[in-house]
Amino acid sequence: MTLAIKVKGLSKSFAVKHKKTGFLESLKSLFNPTFSEVTAVHPIDFQVEQGEIVAFLGPNGAGKSTTIKMLTGILHPTQGSAEVLGFNPWQERAKLAFHIGSVFGQKSQLWYHLPPIDTFELMSRIFELPRADYLKRRDELIERFELGALMNIPVRKLSLGQRMRCEMAAALLHRPQIVFLDEPTIGLDVVVKHKIRDLIKEMNKEEGTTLFITSHDAGDIEQLCKRAIVINHGQIILDDTVSNMKRQFLKHKTIHLKLQEVPGQFNVPGVKLVKQKGAGIRLSVDTSQISIENVLSYIVQNYQLVDVTIEDPSMEEIITHIYEQRREEVD
């Protein structure tokens, strides 16, 4: 397997100007500013193989986007080296740009008042695609993303889900080898989320595209990624397969129950009563001790059920958990 991304000892620190309170102090700092160094990313190492789908996770301000900016060549690192598709990103940014794509869930690259076809056309020019190649690729993507009916409707009239499909297709026109996806499913309804995830998976399978995904959606990570890199305070605190991560951290599920009548004691090993309010109860299930299936059948056998929901801990909870664990180790 060839490497898509190779990062070694990459770090970034910024000089931040001190702002002191008080008029005299701010006057002083105008002529004699004091700076302190803030490390956004500590030396990090990781590698991504071509064709991998990697989740890049961490809370806000963890150093995610600084890292991505270094990998796309927007930022120069303070130290260390990186190779993306064999290019040095910050020295060969323009060359690299032809081979990478990006989809940002919260930013649109489509022209708002124009139909998507116009943005596609513009992209073909920006990426200097030969005409015939472009047309072939465009039609292929239109078919795969089912955009036929949408291509000539102004973007402002599309639903968020339809727009996202167009965004993705637009980002893929130049056949990027690596795609950076930032919150690709944010704000989408469940059905559309699935659709987008299926498309992402398909793209990875059929074209061998390497995907680097940042998301706060546990579903994105579970369903798409085989591997997760978790970063916090500028350090990689976990780099493991998602299944390992789940085994370790998604051991708990929460069950919300609404029963016909107020229940008695719950005496099932691995199940903990978290909260009870009349006939409504919340249980925490340790799935390493008992399967959800067994818990549910126990409930169905012993109680009259009105409503039930099962929840995973949120990705944020998992990350917090991971981080806290690591900190304990350090301490």
Partner 1 sequence: MNTLSAKSLFSGKAVKYLSVGYITVRNNFVYLRSFFIRSWFLLVILFIFVQLWRVTYQGEGNEVIEGYTYEQMIWYLIFAEAIILSSPRLPVKIEEEVKKGDVGYQLTRPMSYLLYHYFSYLGEAYVRLIVNIILGSALGLVLFGWPRLGLGLFGFLIVSIGSFTVNYLMTMMLSLTSFWVEETRGLVFVYQKMLFIIGGLMLPLEIFPGYLQAISEWLPFQTVAYFAAKAGVHFEWMMIAKMLLIQLLWIAILSFLLRVVYQKGVRKLNVNGG
- Name the site residues for partner 1 (rule: CB under 8 A): 12, 14, 16, 40, 65-66, 69, 72-76, 93-94, 97-98, 100, 102, 104, 107, 111-114, 118-119, 121-122, 125-128, 180
Q: How far is the CB of 188 from partner 1 (least distance, A)?
A: 20
Q: How far is the CB of 34 from partner 1 (least distance, A)?
A: 16
Pull the structure tokens for residue 154. 């102004």
Q: How far is the CB of 128 from partner 1 (least distance, A)?
A: 7
What CA–CA distances, in Å, run from 226 to 74, 172, 177, 219, 229?
A: 27, 22, 18, 12, 10
Give the type of residue at 267: N
Name, in order, each residue with C-beta under 8 angstroms of 271's C-beta and a sequence gap of 6 or more: 283, 284, 285, 286, 290, 295
- Residue 180 gets which letter from DSSP? E
Nearer to partner 1, 14 or 143 (CB): 14
Nearer to partner 1, 14 or 297 (CB): 14
Q: How far is the CB of 329 from partner 1 (least distance, A)?
A: 27
Nearer to partner 1, 103 or 200 (CB): 103
Q: How far is the CB of 95 from partner 1 (least distance, A)?
A: 8
Nearer to partner 1, 118 or 312 (CB): 118
Is residue 167 classed as helix, strand or coil in its secondary structure? helix
Nearer to partner 1, 83 or 317 (CB): 83
Is residue 241 classed as helix, strand or coil in its secondary structure? strand
Q: What is the CA radius of gyration of the chain?
A: 24
Give the type of residue at 287: T
